[in-house]
Structure 1
């Protein structure tokens, strides 16, 4: 065999990597989901929908 397998080291590396990823997901999620851009976009879409509904009711 050209190299030794080290299952314990691999398991520790895998577990450590998962711990790091799990601990960083919450701040990333909060930053992405609660960014002011999304609030502005939501308001703009709401206004556009309102305008298009008014146009539709006037032409009918």
Structure 2
């Protein structure tokens, strides 16, 4: 075998990467999920649904 395997180093690197990912997921999640774009989109879709419901009620 041309190289030595280093299981302890690999384990430490793997755990370090996981710690970094876990510690950064909350701010990333908050940034993505609470963007004003989603709030505006949700409000626009709500208004469209209400308009469709009132239009359907008027024609009935």
Same fold, TM-score > 0.5, yes or no: yes
Q: Distance between the aligned counterparts of 2:54 and 2:27, measured in 1? A: 40
- The TM-score normalised by the length of structure 2 is 0.96
Question: Where does residue 35 of structure 1 map in the other structure?
Answer: 35
CA deviation profile, 1:8-35 (whole Å, cap 9, x unmatched):
0000000000000001101000101111
Question: Where does residue 53 of structure 1 map in the other structure?
Answer: 53
- The TM-score normalised by the length of structure 1 is 0.96
Question: Where does residue 8 of structure 2 map in the other structure?
Answer: 8
Q: Distance between the aligned counterparts of 1:15 and 1:42, measured in 2? A: 38
- Residue segments in structure 2 that go unaligned for 5+ positions in a row: none
**Displacement of 1:2 after TM fit?**
1.0
Please report the RMSD computed on the Cα atoms of aligned residues, expressed in angstroms.
0.5
Task: Give the number of equivalent residue pairs.
Answer: 60
Q: Distance between the aligned counterparts of 1:13 and 1:24, measured in 2? A: 17
